[in-house]
Amino acid sequence: QAQLVESGGGLVKPGGSLRLSCAASGFTFSDYYMSWIRQAPGKGLEWVAYISSRSSYINYADSVKGRFTISRDNAKNSLYLQMNSLRADDTAVYYCARAANHYDTSGCDYWGQGTLVTVSS
Amino acid sequence: QSVLTQPPSASGTPGQRVTISCSGSSSNIRKNTVNWYQQLPGTAPKLLIYSDNQRPSGVPDRFSGSKSGTSASLAISGLQSEDEADYYCAAWDDSLNGVVFGGGTKLTVL
């Protein structure tokens, strides 16, 4: 059974940095596109970024472009999100999710439990 | 303001059939497949419908999806109390070159 476990969330001051990790198990991680998706408290889902199976294709939401960097280490079955220049509106639960098919990254069949990032002074 | 538009709320009584709409545009729903997610309180989203109308294994056939033009719908028949959750539609957007979500619909079972 596929499993995704996020870590690295916490409280950070505006302008600060944080690195999220997502440990994958139960499937061949290197075969799948992966995404980060976030959800602000009491709000809806917002896609953040995706990365292809071999890191050849990467894209970001406009709201995080230039500040966040998605990466992966297939040897370690891990996905990362480096978040810099954090702002209050980045406060959210961050989920890593597996795209069921490489041709449709909007269809994520496995999600982690999420990690909370709070940006506040 | 979400790119895909959903009603903020929907409701029904046990046993009823409820539909939730998702309105988009030619750059997302018309050209690309639609997925639906169910999010129970305090949990991560779960893929409910993929590729417009396909159910992952384990999802009851009470849940069905459809699409026409720039709109999609999720139908839930034989409504049950455990269906009370938030529902989100999602699709790839060619203009934004990214994934777009609907704002979510909170389903209440009366």
Q: Which amino acid makes up residue A117?
A: V
Instruction: Report the first-to-last Cα separation within chain A, whole angstroms.
Output: 40
Q: Are B52 and B65 in contact (CB under 8 A)?
A: yes
* Per-residue pLDDT reduced to its tens digit, A33-81: 999 999 999 999 999 999 999 999 999 999 999 999 999 999 999 999 9
* Set of chain A residues whose Cβ sits within 8 Å of the Cβ of B42: none
pLDDT in tens, B7-66: 999 999 999 999 999 999 999 999 999 999 999 999 999 999 999 999 999 999 999 999
Would the CA dihedral through A39, A97, A35, A4 be positive or negative? positive
Picking from B2, B39, B99, the nearest residue to A106 by CB comes out as: B99
Asked if A50 is an interface residue toward chain B (Cβ–Cβ < 8 A), one would say yes
Candidates A104, A109, A116: best to mutate against B (most CBs of B within 10 A) is A104
Residues of A in contact with B86 (CB under 8 A): 44
Q: Which of A89, A83, A84 is nearest to A119 (CA)?
A: A89
When the pLDDT of each residue in chain A is averaged and rounded to a whole number, the result is 96
